[in-house]
Amino acid sequence: MPVIETAETMIHVAIDGREDAPPLMLSNSLGVTLEMWRPQIAALSERFRVIRYDPRGHGRSSVPPAPYSVEAMARDALAVLDALQIDQAHFCGLSLGGMVGQWLGAHAPHRLNRLVLANTACHYPDPGGFLSRIQAVQQGGMAAIADSVIASWLTADFRARESATTTWVRAMLLASPVDGYLASCDMLTRLDQRDMVKQIRKPTLVIIGRHDAAFGAGEFLVEVIPGATGIVLEAAHLSNVEQGGAFTDALIGFLTKEAWTDRGSDPLRHYRSQGKTGRARNSLGTTGPAQARSRRNAPYAPQEPASPGPCGRSGGAAYGRCRGWLPAVSFRPTFHFWKRLTVLSFWRCRGPATFHEGGDSWQMDDHPDWRGAIFRRIRARCRLSLVPCPTWAVTW
């Protein structure tokens, strides 16, 4: 694991994967180390040259004196790419790393290929939470905030179910350098990149945790970044840990688009050929196999797929096994159409599903081209994008 010297600090770096593979840089959350990407490394290193690094003040990187800035952290990331002689790379940042990604997308777009912003924000209107953390850490060290921070990072259900993983994450937080953590929190009290993110023109995926305090901030990024795509995972702040499989599927699918082409039966083939995809704000539900099977007629029960998903991993406890790619639709208050539309089990099944739109109602089995009819009607009313949907059926 090399250490790369920048103008102001020493950055600890870890590299995985083939040297000739497309480069992908991963940037950490506040208060953890590059080891937070452990759930993704096995799958990502098969396809990418993965560059992880500890930001200044974190992990095994040096701790320069305060004040810190997002720009300085972003220039540290560029210095790492320069030292590795990488002209352009994919970038995925979570939380603090996502803020770095925002700066790079706006100010150094020529160094990025695709951009993924996970569980992050561009502004904190009330910095009181970080000011309280600073005071608590100054008085009692990292242990003083460990319980409250872990509660915001991982849902209670996950903490109860995965105690070993929770202990591992907690250990990273407790080992975080105090001075670096305080300087980073102080930086976040002044964060305001709301105008900056509007300048991003790179293909961007925003990953949002449904139970994350930054949920609204993620929605804002989807709205203001031109052409951005957003998905929601059943997770809190560290969605890459809590929903490791679904997060990895989303990341690989967005960066490679492999899942768009490697399946022989793709219901959106004709749709994609007609134009660019747009943005999406919602996940597609979490219906499990048992519930989905109950909605089908027995003669049409699907067979188990040969592969669980585009990266060969499960979608996480809240999702069931990954079944491939389905459309995510951007819900907006003006889309009254969705109040009248119900679509049940429209891929890998035909069954007791009825399509309703206003006064028009018909059974899918009775329609000669029910798939095409659904997608033509959806296309006329909203913009679609492809996101991984590890579910058997979809219900709106």
165 pLDDT tier (thresholds 50, 70, 90)? very high
- Give the contacts of 131 (CB within 8 A, at least 6 positions apart): 189
- Domain assignment present for 331: yes
Asked whether the predicted pLDDT for residue 76 surpasses 80, the reply is yes
Asked whether the predicted pLDDT for residue 353 surpasses 50, the reply is no
In this structure, are 36 and 113 located in the same domain?
yes
Asked whether the predicted pLDDT for residue 355 surpasses 60, the reply is no
Report the CATH number that the domain containing residue 247 is assigned in CATH. 3.40.50.1820
Position 378 scores a pLDDT of: 56
218 pLDDT tier (thresholds 50, 70, 90)? very high
Position 358 scores a pLDDT of: 43
Report the greatest alpha carbon distance in the chain: 70
In this structure, are 123 and 225 located in the same domain?
yes
> Per-residue pLDDT tens for 258-275?
543 333 222 223 223 333
Q: Report the 10 Å Cβ neighbour count for 388.
A: 31
Q: Give residue 259's identity as a one-letter amino acid code.
A: A
In this structure, are 154 and 298 located in the same domain?
no
348 pLDDT tier (thresholds 50, 70, 90)? very low
In this structure, are 73 and 104 located in the same domain?
yes
- Domain assignment present for 180: yes
- Domain assignment present for 394: no
Q: Which phi and psi (to 5°) does residue 92 adopt? A: -130, 120
Alpha-carbon gap, residue 7 to 5, rounded angstroms:
7
Residue 383 is encoded by which pair of tokens?
């913009």
In this structure, are 316 and 167 located in the same domain?
no
- Domain assignment present for 129: yes
- Domain assignment present for 395: no
In this structure, are 131 and 232 located in the same domain?
yes
In this structure, are 252 and 205 located in the same domain?
yes
- Domain assignment present for 226: yes
In this structure, are 150 and 14 located in the same domain?
yes
In this structure, are 121 and 141 located in the same domain?
yes
Asked whether the predicted pLDDT for residue 216 surpasses 60, the reply is yes
Kind of pairing between the strands at 112-118 and 204-209: parallel
Position 41 scores a pLDDT of: 97
1 pLDDT tier (thresholds 50, 70, 90)? low
Position 258 scores a pLDDT of: 53
- Domain assignment present for 303: yes
Please name which of 256, 221, 240 lies closest in space to residue 99, comparing C-alpha atoms: 221
In this structure, are 289 and 220 located in the same domain?
no
Position 295 scores a pLDDT of: 29
Asked whether the predicted pLDDT for residue 30 surpasses 50, the reply is yes
Alpha-carbon gap, residue 358 to 370, rounded angstroms:
17
- What's the whole-number mean pLDDT along residues 333-347? 37
* Residue ranges of E strands in 263-336: 325-329
Q: Does residue 32 sit in helix, strand or coil?
A: coil
**The domain containing residue 241 runs over which residues?**
3-256
Of residues 323 and 114, more confidently modeled: 114
What residue spans of the chain are helical by DSSP H? 38-44, 70-83, 96-107, 128-140, 146-153, 156-161, 163-174, 178-189, 215-224, 239-242, 244-256, 269-272, 289-293, 370-379
Position 373 scores a pLDDT of: 59
- Domain assignment present for 354: yes
Q: Report the 10 Å Cβ neighbour count for 86.
A: 15
Position 2 scores a pLDDT of: 87
Position 283 scores a pLDDT of: 32
Position 6 scores a pLDDT of: 86
In this structure, are 185 and 76 located in the same domain?
yes
In this structure, are 31 and 75 located in the same domain?
yes
Residue 133 is encoded by which pair of tokens?
């953390």
Q: What is the number of structural domains in the chain?
A: 2
